[in-house]
Amino acid sequence: MKGHGFDLPEAGPAFDEYIRQHNLSDRVKFVPGNFFNDDFPKADVVTMGHILHDWGLEEKKMLLSKAYKALPAGGAVIVYDAIIDDDRSQNVFGLLMSLNMLIETKAGFDYTAADCAKWMEEVGFKQTRTEHLVGPDSMVIGIK
Give catalytic residue positions: 53
127-132 sheet: strands from edge to edge = 45-49, 76-81, 138-143, 127-132
Within 8 A by CB and 6+ apart from 82, the residues are 50, 53, 91, 93, 94, 97, 110, 136, 137, 138
Q: How many CB atoms lie within 10 A of CB 20?
A: 11
Give strand ranges (E) for the chain. 3-7, 28-32, 45-49, 76-81, 127-132, 138-143
Query: CA dist 126 to 2, 53, 66, Å?
Result: 25, 23, 15
Alpha-carbon gap, residue 130 to 120, rounded angstroms: 12
